[in-house]
Amino acid sequence: MQTIRVQKTEIQSPKPTGRIIYVNYDSLEPSGGVKVIYSHVLHLVNNGYPAFVLHTQKDFRIPWLECDVPILYAKDNLRISPNDIVVIPEDHNTALNVFKNIQTRKFVFCQNHYYIFNGLQNNDSWRNFGVTGIFCCSSIISDFISEVFGYSEVPVIHNAIPLDLFEPRNKKLQIAYMPRKIPGELNFIRNLFKKLYKQYDKIPWICIDKVKESKVAEIMNESAVFLSTSTYEGFGLPPIEAMASGCIVVGFHGDGGLEYASEDNGFWCEWNNITDCAKTLGQVITLIENDDEVISKKRGQAIKTAGEYSYKRQEKDLLNYWSDIYK
């Protein structure tokens, strides 16, 4: 089970003028976006805001996440006050339509710009749904929304990872990966790698899939390499978790990973150039085996970059944002 751990910041509690309600999915499997919503609500509750997560089915609980926050249910005679603020995920078309004609302030929290048109359809606009503000989790998303939709300001609430959980340990020469995003391309990369680098045929490939966050961290912390198969991301949590764990990241940033990816902190390949990715992976294994100094330099930069994504910064971003709105 995943656990969100944040510390309370001592500030003056805001004047209660209504609830802040984050619409969320009834997700039975681990989801980074769902977890981020919980972390937002936990920060707000810890700082005196009447914030809630809104699920659909009565008494639903996330089975893979341990996070003690107040929960409301749409199918439990939910009543919305004009003083409430409702936060809707960018891809939640149902929620946009349900709340369209309800008198309350509405905001969209966008975690992936590639999912926007799952929510907005037929050339519609957020303003037509009564949405008064947009905020997001990366500058990549913010720039996209400003350019495409003409918003002059799209504030960024930076994502965070548990840096006390993802941290380097004694490394094993093994390749950690997640199979969910591009399984066909992953199969090609793996088989081309084995074809080109027969000397590395015995190196273990460790699959990370549908496991608790503690297990994800355990694998990353002891793996020398993480193969990133990120694609169409708004941010992409796994690569930055791997960087915090001291993995050498090889692969794709998925666009959203440009928030943190650079030539100094990983071996980032041209997006979806799977042939180059397989070759780069082999070259990196050779560098590791030769104890080349470029490996230690990139690992150090990766850990430094990941260290910026703390719950403390996320909390500061969030409180700065809501203090201007919740009045």
Q: 46 and 104: one domain?
A: yes
CA dist 134 and 96 (Å) reads 13
Residue 48 phi/psi, 5° resolution? 90, 5
Structurally, the chain folds into a number of domains equal to: 2
Are residues 116 and 91 part of one domain?
Answer: yes
Residues 151 and 207 both lie in one domain = no
Same-domain status, 182 and 261: yes
Q: Is residue 68 part of a domain?
A: yes
Same domain, 181 and 261: yes
Residue listed under structure tokens 């972390």:
39
Task: Give yes or no for a contact between 175 and 204, defined as CB atoms under 8 angstroms apart.
Answer: yes
State the maximum Cα–Cα separation within the chain, in Å, rounded to a whole number.
66
- Cα–chain-centroid distance for residue 79? 30
Q: Domain range spanning residue 250?
A: 172-306
Nearest-angstrom CA–CA distance, 250 and 228: 6
Question: Judging by DSSP bridges, how do beta strands 223-233 and 172-177 pair with one another?
Answer: parallel
Whether residue 167 is contained in a domain is answered as no
Quick check: 108 and 294 in contact, CB under 8 A? no
Report which DSSP code applies to 209.
Answer: -
pLDDT at 16: 52
Is residue 110 assigned to a domain? yes
165 within some domain: no
Same domain, 300 and 320: no
Query: Are residues 210 and 119 located together in one domain of the fold?
Result: no
Average pLDDT, whole number, for the chain? 93
Residue 6 clears pLDDT 60, i.e. is over it: no
Q: List, for residues 248-281, the tens digit of each pLDDT value.
A: 999 999 999 999 999 999 999 998 899 999 999 9
* 265 in a structural domain: yes
**CA distance linking residue 109 with residue 95, whole number of Å:** 12
Reduce the DSSP state of residue 229 to 3 states and report it: strand
Tokens of 316: 């500061």
Strand order through the sheet with 20-23:
71-73, 51-55, 20-23, 85-89, 105-110, 131-136
Based on the fold, state whether residues 13 and 152 are members of the same structural domain. yes
Residue 211 lies in a domain: yes
**CATH number of the domain residue 246 falls in:** 3.40.50.2000
Residue 315 reports pLDDT greater than 90: yes
Same domain, 76 and 185: no
Rounded to 10 degrees, the C-alpha dihedral 260/325/48/85 comes to -100
Query: Does some domain include residue 47?
Result: yes
Q: Are residues 16 and 98 in the same domain?
A: yes
Question: Mind listing the pLDDT tens digit for each residue in 112-157?
Answer: 999 999 999 988 999 999 999 999 999 999 999 999 999 999 999 9
Owner of token pair 């990872």:
161
pLDDT confidence of residue 268:
98
Q: Do β-strands 20-23 and 51-55 pair in parallel, antiparallel, or remain unpaired? A: parallel
Distance between CA atoms of residues 207 and 229, nearest Å: 12
255: left (phi over 0), alpha (psi -120 to 50) or beta: left
Query: Is pLDDT of 175 > 50?
Result: yes
